[in-house]
Structure 1
Amino acid sequence: MPDLIVRGARWKQQEVDLLIRRGKVLELTPYEKSGTPAKNARVIDAKGLTLLPSLIDAHTHMREPGQEWKEDIASGLDAAVHGGFGTVLCMANTDPVNDNASVTELMLEQASRSWPKGPRLAPIGALTKGLAGQELAPMEELARAGCVAFSNDGVPIASTELFRRAMEYASDLGMVVIDHCEDPFLGKGGSMNESPVSGRLGLKGQPWAAETIQIARDIELARYLNIPVHIAHVSTRQSVELLAWAKDKGAPVTAETCPHYLVLDESSVEGYNTRAKVNPPLRTPDDSAALLQALRDGVIDILATDHAPHAAHEKEVEFDHAPFGISGLDTALSVTWGLVASGDLDLDTFLRAWCYGPASIFNIAANTFEPGSPADFVLFDPDATWTVSAETMHSKSANTPLLGRTLSGRVVSHFIGGKKIV
């Protein structure tokens, strides 16, 4: 008999009852056809709420250890669970860098201490020691300690030979390399998209070619070696065209983009708005349209937040001196659900992008609502409205150009392993 019954939630255009036993999905049945619940079963009335599997974010920055004034693991996971995310992968650009087992173990210990019942933290190990791009990190040690992938994150590796060896070593461990694709010379010093807007504002721009040159390199290595590579935060139409070509050729390449590249563009930088400063930069409306179509077509496999929190005082400086990054864990679900509500994304694409795609790429368990699936799920109110502010966000940092905007859709409750976390 079930321990928990969630009654009347909406799942893919129908009302359903979700039956949970011992932290696993027992059955998903049409509403009120699950029979009379046992006396010891807990029943939750979910009429009017949407049922979603817990989402997976493949690209975040938790900032701990070393930069806890921006974010720490406890606050980052708080933002994640309230944002609908049951698992978050976190990059290695901590201080010290996550390039050895002791740092990985510390991160996992902090996650377990602050959120013992979930959400889950999945560290991404550094690809090179100190992210310096000179010598491979001890990747096997990192994998044993609990890392689920490897990346040099925002420090592109200039050496193609070193990057090749990294891909080969990761493949031997059954893991994937994530690459921030930016030519380290062509893109150097650019603080926004190179365009007439950057010229008018007097800001050094980063051309789209800085991204595509590195993506082209990674595609050819993946084809030559027949080893997977994952491309982080794609931002341009030209990158989409390369990825479409690669997939047509059968290259083992996957890619992500972020909600801010779909719904914002370079005009957000007007007025020297440092909250809109991100790397890669916000591009043109045409790029946003191309990315959205690529997501629908499967050329872009998944969505990720690239949650990059910074303290308010760090962004309140001249544009050139402000750090790159947008906080995204609190807002991502509402923003992308808005695309579902408007018909720009269908629900299956949304679920693939936020759950089943990252689960497949990074070998993470996900809730398919089939019997035996982990009972990790969200009850979501698509009609609830909220205004983005430091007070309504759970992250320590509110560095987002969405501040002041009213969004639709809010997590009502989140269950991990059948247990209510929030």
Structure 2
Amino acid sequence: MITRLQNVKRLGAELGAGALETLFFEDGVILGWNLDRQADQTLDGRGGTVVPALIELHAHLREPGQEEKEDLESGLAAAAAGGYGTVVSMPNTAPVVDDPALVRSLIAKAEGLGYARLRPAAALTKGQKGEQLAELALLKEAGAVTFTDDGRTNEDARMLRLGLEYAHSLGLVVSVHAEDATLRADGVMNEGAVSESLGLPGNPVAAEAARVARDVELARLTGARLHIQHLSSARALEIVRRAKADGIVVTCEVCPHHLTLTDEALRSFDAMYKVAPPLRTQADAEALLEGLRDGTVDCLATDHAPHTSAEKERDLLQAPFGIPSIEVAFPLMYTRFADVLGPAKIVELFTSAPARVMGWTLPSLEEGAPADLTVLDFETEREVKVSEFKSKARFSPWAGEKLRGWPVLTVVGGRVAFERASRPDTNS
């Protein structure tokens, strides 16, 4: 079936600002632009800008075993609503994703849902206990695209070394949650002036920086590809910057919440702001933004971490860590930073950049590329309404904020995975 997507703009199109074009695709593959072809189906891009579908390297979809927080259907629907065509899910579920049969079953279930494409991460160690490597070759064969014990920190350096070496032989990346658990201890927020004034146990920058430094040395030793998840501090960023200058194969991601929120938010004592690693200072947020500008930070990821409202309504000492953000990540970054980074750079950080981290073919809208695309509305201002979230986690630090850059259409493999129902008045 040939599909025609009409009334769309290309980002930086040579045809000039405001020029509307038509993109054709068939059987999940792009045929080309402005063709003289009949179509079986017509989609209207509403004058939006079409880009490759976004890629998410770090999302917690909670299935199996934690479906009260999120499941594949709600999580992948939320991803599609956020403009994502591909999602890498984390393995810290119940049971842990360390079994090839479980990887295959998750992929099969996701394919039948018709939302964003699932590409599971598998545990680096059995049960994520850090004691014995998982069956990495079999997990890759089953469809796992990276290995990580995210949700736990890799305390045994020798075990991580072995995992890096084995993953390197398989051509895959190892992703790490880089915090020293003994330094982090029972910290619930950034250690500093705010935590001291509130009398809350702090998690020092040193916990992240020390572990990043160790893991970078293991990447140097093994020559393996190391990816550092949710980098949060200026100090850790500087370690990555120096490692890259030394030729070490290390990449890192930053999350929107570490760029747009600080530890000052915890003065509310609202556990919605409790994340791991914690929200840092304004100086850290500004350093991370500079890291995006100068290329030290490789890509953006959400660390989408849904929980039930009841869990997040507990006090700061008892509530779980995590913020759900996959539905608002792109418009949040566009609204806050388009003037600083530029629209093209922001799109790249959500598309080509994560693909480079993983060693995947770079996404494209040219003939022969997969028909994975998102239409973005850079003009219309919309309010963040948690009641409209596809995710089961209907709370957000940005609730009520008016943002631009919302996805209005997401197509995955040539199929419509999400279409926004209506366009509100510009100032509504």
Query: Same fold per TM (> 0.5)?
Result: yes
Asked if 2 retains the 8 angstrom alpha-carbon contact of 1:20 and 1:418, the reply is no
Task: Tell me what 2:78 maps to.
Answer: 79
Tell me: CA distance 1:40–1:59, structure 2 relative to 1, closer, same or farther (3 Å): closer
Task: Tell me the CA shift for residue 240 of structure 1.
Answer: 1.2
Q: Within 1, Cα distance between the matches of 2:314 and 2:106?
A: 31
Residue pairs, 1:205-224, within 5 angstroms: 205-224=202-221
Task: Tell me the CA shift for residue 47 of structure 1.
Answer: 5.1
Task: Tell me what 1:107 maps to.
Answer: 106
Q: Within 2, Cα distance between the matches of 1:38 and 1:373?
A: 18
**1:19 and 2:31 are equivalent in the alignment:** no
Aligned to 1:142, the other structure's residue is in SS state helix
Aligned to 1:140, the other structure's residue is in SS state helix
Aligned to 2:293, the other structure's residue is in SS state helix
Q: Within 1, Cα distance between the matches of 2:8 and 2:194?
A: 50
Q: Within 1, Cα distance between the matches of 2:265 and 2:181?
A: 25
| Total equivalences in the alignment | 413
Task: Tell me what 1:298 maps to.
Answer: 295
After alignment, is 347-356 or 81-90 more displaced?
A: 347-356
Task: Tell me the CA shift for residue 3 of structure 1.
Answer: 4.2
Tell me: CA distance 1:386–1:187, structure 2 relative to 1, closer, same or farther (3 Å): same
For residue 373 of structure 1, the aligned residue among 337, 349, 369 is 369
Asked if 2 retains the 8 angstrom alpha-carbon contact of 1:24 and 1:373, the reply is yes
**1:195 and 2:199 are equivalent in the alignment:** no
CA RMSD of aligned residues (A): 1.8
After alignment, is 347-356 or 11-20 more displaced?
A: 11-20
Render the CA deviation track for 1:255-301: whole Å, top value 9, x for unaligned.
00101111111111112011000000000011000001101111000
Tell me: CA distance 1:357–1:40, structure 2 relative to 1, closer, same or farther (3 Å): closer
Q: Within 2, Cα distance between the matches of 1:50 and 1:375?
A: 15
Aligned to 1:26, the other structure's residue is in SS state strand
Tell me: CA distance 1:346–1:322, structure 2 relative to 1, closer, same or farther (3 Å): same
Tell me: CA distance 1:331–1:47, structure 2 relative to 1, closer, same or farther (3 Å): closer
After alignment, is 64-73 or 355-364 more displaced?
A: 355-364
Letter matched to residue 345 of structure 1: L
Q: Within 2, Cα distance between the matches of 1:240 and 1:387?
A: 33
Q: Within 2, Cα distance between the matches of 1:276 and 1:9?
A: 37
Task: Tell me what 1:54 maps to.
Answer: 53
Aligned to 1:384, the other structure's residue is in SS state coil
Task: Tell me what 2:6 maps to.
Answer: 6
Alignment TM-score, normalising by the size of structure 2: 0.92
Q: Within 1, Cα distance between the matches of 2:39 and 2:411?
A: 19
Could you tell me which runs of 5 or more consecutive residues in structure 1 were left unpaired when the two chains were aligned: 29-33
Q: Within 2, Cα distance between the matches of 1:419 and 1:105?
A: 22
After alignment, is 199-208 or 386-395 more displaced?
A: 386-395
Letter matched to residue 412 of structure 2: I
Q: Within 2, Cα distance between the matches of 1:183 and 1:334?
A: 33
Tell me: CA distance 1:414–1:219, structure 2 relative to 1, closer, same or farther (3 Å): same
Task: Tell me what 2:284 maps to.
Answer: 287
Letter matched to residue 7 of structure 1: N
**1:392 and 2:388 are equivalent in the alignment:** yes
Percentage of pairs with the same residue: 38
After alignment, is 343-352 or 224-233 more displaced?
A: 343-352
Q: Within 2, Cα distance between the matches of 1:114 and 1:3?
A: 20
Tell me: CA distance 1:268–1:413, structure 2 relative to 1, closer, same or farther (3 Å): same
Task: Tell me the CA shift for residue 226 of structure 1.
Answer: 1.6
Alignment TM-score, normalising by the size of structure 1: 0.93
Aligned to 1:371, the other structure's residue is in SS state coil
Task: Tell me the CA shift for residue 397 of structure 1.
Answer: 0.4
Aligned to 1:310, the other structure's residue is in SS state coil
Tell me: CA distance 1:154–1:285, structure 2 relative to 1, closer, same or farther (3 Å): same
Asked if 1 retains the 8 angstrom alpha-carbon contact of 2:372 and 2:411, the reply is yes
Task: Tell me what 2:333 maps to.
Answer: 336
For residue 401 of structure 1, the aligned residue among 364, 388, 397 is 397
Q: Within 2, Cα distance between the matches of 1:3 and 1:308?
A: 35
Task: Tell me what 1:350 maps to.
Answer: 346
Task: Tell me what 1:31 maps to.
Answer: none
Residue pairs, 1:159-170, within 5 angstroms: 159-170=156-167
